[in-house]
Structure 1
């Protein structure tokens, strides 16, 4: 019987050998297209490589990466460590502003649904593997946090979802919609409770430090404190005279902040329901207010439609920074989860600006005399002028701090990461030049953070370009260092005032 089976198999193989392969009848264009499709790389951001390298370095007893370890060359990407490696701590207080190495400046991916709707809020799942997007249609859309692929979609609310919040213990998710409904969700998106919280839209939700209570604010001009276990209202905070657009509960202290359309920011005691103080610095609607997430946790950031962002110090009870670098009204603000001094603001024109607050200390902030009450202003660390085509409604950092997600009225969620060292096309993306034609987001970078040579004639020459000084002598201007002033000794040696070169 085995001989018959072998004979039959041999006959079948001989017959198949005379058949043409299925791809033989395809023309050359189809074959090339299929080959290109197989070799296409999936966009991904793998945080495991530099995280593993960081743990190996720490196991060797090296806790601090010296400045200059990462050189302006793409191969030094392997020396770029994860966000916690550059965090300030008791040993290193932002040494040499190493936090600037961890600024999210490079566009990674654009994610949008087939049936597109405006996005009001986004949240990373607590473990950081997925991104949850809540749209104006009341749908939850889940995207993969590493490959940015679509995973699932579900109808969560009957009206627009305006607020999302995970509990501190990562076990629960709360969502609030435009009709005032609050829903409890488990991590697997099983809906277990529904509350009719307000008579109008719920703009923000925040948990108490121990997750036993949560806070909601609404366009009905009130804030409410709820018992999480039984879903009953415990207190109502009344004092605003118009819609309450933003609120937050301090992660450690018994302190609540709220921002309203009446241009006021109020600090509340959640135990007595009393307003502690009112801040009158803004001249228009407050759109978002948030407590500092890490570090001392004693700063409060608020943005308003008067085009300003104010950083309020809870210890000194005054504004220490007023940031006015946007050209239009500000829509949202977000603290970095690892770097206590880094903050990101976004505006209604689709622009984003990163700040490092302790990178510059002006003379006004050093003076302690009572006659000078002026606040200082930090210089923008990085600006992305055309991050979105319309207003940005949400900013959310990955729990590890290596990714930033932004979403808004242009009905898309966009991911941002750190750029490779010395990427010549870093500032030539459509997000910086506004050259957005067709599906431009597919042409930005086929491989994540890929370094693509700039082939324009202007870059065929050396990157060191001579320029004439004020005294007629020639010097060299390096890209990115043109804000440094030249001196005579440096010009005589043929270089600008570049730190560390000393004319050699």
Structure 2
């Protein structure tokens, strides 16, 4: 027997055959290596990412060399086939408020940015209901606040879990970043407000309300902030020293929502007493009361872009009202015949795009300028003026299994996050060119491959109805 075939080692009278052990360990290693490769391939196959860097960089390069500087992108230029993916520009390129040639805005390019596709579902191992979510100012992460008082950070591109921390001792009901992106305020069920730095270092705590704190809003210059709560009061605080400056009283029940106008000295609040009130924050006076709703007002939000003269409010009477601040009357009334509405969100770049969510887990996208009033009706005056109404441009019936409590658009406008009572946060994106299912995600068809699709909605075969039009 040759020395190269075996190496005999005398140990206690036993002879060990080394090459056989080497072949066995090599075989085991190869099996483990193949198993790891197979598992990695499997994970990569189901991982869906959203890359918003390339198209943004390409658009800025085109603008710097004088391409597409005065004309809007045409709708047909991005739809014919998949190779036109390179021409899919960021949301800012399609916003009517950014383009210089307004005459090209006869086509509402907000239709290109409707978030119709489910990208990812994120949930903690220990699941709790989610009341509010916020994108970090730079848009790299999503901050989720749960009913357990925990902050959870999710990656904004690959949607991986990053970290979790115990922020409050009671359920977190609201969060708000300052306009200069340097501070985060959070409010909980005990009425406590906490100051957070961008690295989530807690620097101050104040007891703002005697009961649950429902909403927080910063003033335009961030020197003050507004809180509202279940004690039926709104309070204005000095941000620097945390001292209360004014108390706005006038609601007769819990105040569910409040917002501070980004430009005007105007505050809005919505309450369980069915009223929406407009306030002057400097005089602590109610300057107008809107009586259109017949049930609890859940969310009130000022328009963040465009003319910034519209106010959206949703209520449990299954309606959403768009109030015109210049005319001081309702411009649109959007009615949902299925269930009560829970929250709404304006698109950060498209002034006419509004998204509403309901207690049955459904979502609707609206383009407010898709309905044009007849010129003869407009000339009749206020006495015979009928408030307009519009239909949704896209409807997702089973966006969540249960009620949706939070809607939050990405600062760049290409992603939408929703979260609610089913203890999950879901990411939605716009469809890609030549996508045959652009308006109907695979989750909502009978072509579900694998149990993952059914598990999204508690094993319900959530199939969208075919539209008649």
Specify if TM > 0.5.
yes
* Residue 53 of structure 1 pairs with residue 61 of structure 2: no
Instruction: Tell me if the contact between 2:318 and 2:341 (Cα under 8 Å) persists in the aligned partners.
Output: yes
Query: What is the rounded CA distance, in whole Å, between the counterparts of 2:448 and 2:250 in structure 1?
Result: 47
Instruction: Tell me if the contact between 2:116 and 2:441 (Cα under 8 Å) persists in the aligned partners.
Output: no
User: What corresponds to 1:91 in structure 2?
Assistant: 101
1:182-207 per-position Cα deviation (integer Å, ceiling 9, x unaligned): 10000000000000110110000000
User: What corresponds to 1:75 in structure 2?
Assistant: 83
Query: What is the rounded CA distance, in whole Å, between the counterparts of 1:423 and 1:443 in structure 2?
Result: 22
Instruction: Tell me if the contact between 1:183 and 1:194 (Cα under 8 Å) persists in the aligned partners.
Output: yes
User: Which of 388, 391, 412 lines up with 1:379 in the alignment?
Assistant: 391
CA drift of 1:442 comes to 8.8
* Residue 216 of structure 1 pairs with residue 216 of structure 2: no
Query: What is the rounded CA distance, in whole Å, between the counterparts of 2:277 and 2:288 in structure 1?
Result: 6
1:38-95 per-position Cα deviation (integer Å, ceiling 9, x unaligned): 2342421110111122123322432332231112422222211100000013423634
CA drift of 1:154 comes to 0.4
Gaps of 5+ in 2: 1-17, 458-465
TM-score (norm 1): 0.81
Moved more, 83-92 or 65-74: 65-74
User: Which of 108, 111, 118 lines up with 1:107 in the alignment?
Assistant: 118
After the TM superposition, which residues 153-302 of structure 1 pair with which residues of structure 2 at under 5 Å, given as runs? 153-302=164-313
User: What corresponds to 1:309 in structure 2?
Assistant: 320
CA drift of 1:22 comes to 4.9
Q: Label 1:148 to 1:437 Cα distance change in 2 as closer, same or farther (>3 A).
A: same
* Residue 148 of structure 1 pairs with residue 150 of structure 2: no
After the TM superposition, which residues 293-442 of structure 1 pair with which residues of structure 2 at under 5 Å, given as runs? 293-325=304-336, 327-363=338-374, 366-426=378-438, 427-431=440-444, 438-440=451-453
State the secondary structure of the residue aligned to 1:128.
coil
Q: Label 1:412 to 1:432 Cα distance change in 2 as closer, same or farther (>3 A).
A: farther
TM-score (norm 2): 0.87
Gaps of 5+ in 1: 1-14, 445-478, 484-504
Instruction: Tell me if the contact between 2:378 and 2:385 (Cα under 8 Å) persists in the aligned partners.
Output: no
Query: What is the rounded CA distance, in whole Å, between the counterparts of 1:352 and 1:211 in structure 2?
Result: 32
Instruction: Tell me if the contact between 2:117 and 2:441 (Cα under 8 Å) persists in the aligned partners.
Output: no
Q: Label 1:166 to 1:372 Cα distance change in 2 as closer, same or farther (>3 A).
A: same
Instruction: State the aligned residue count.
Output: 433
Query: What is the rounded CA distance, in whole Å, between the counterparts of 1:437 and 1:17 in structure 2?
Result: 43
Q: Label 1:437 to 1:289 Cα distance change in 2 as closer, same or farther (>3 A).
A: farther
User: What corresponds to 1:34 in structure 2?
Assistant: 36
State the secondary structure of the residue aligned to 1:24.
helix
State the secondary structure of the residue aligned to 2:22.
coil
Instruction: Tell me if the contact between 1:386 and 1:433 (Cα under 8 Å) persists in the aligned partners.
Output: no
CA drift of 1:443 comes to 9.4
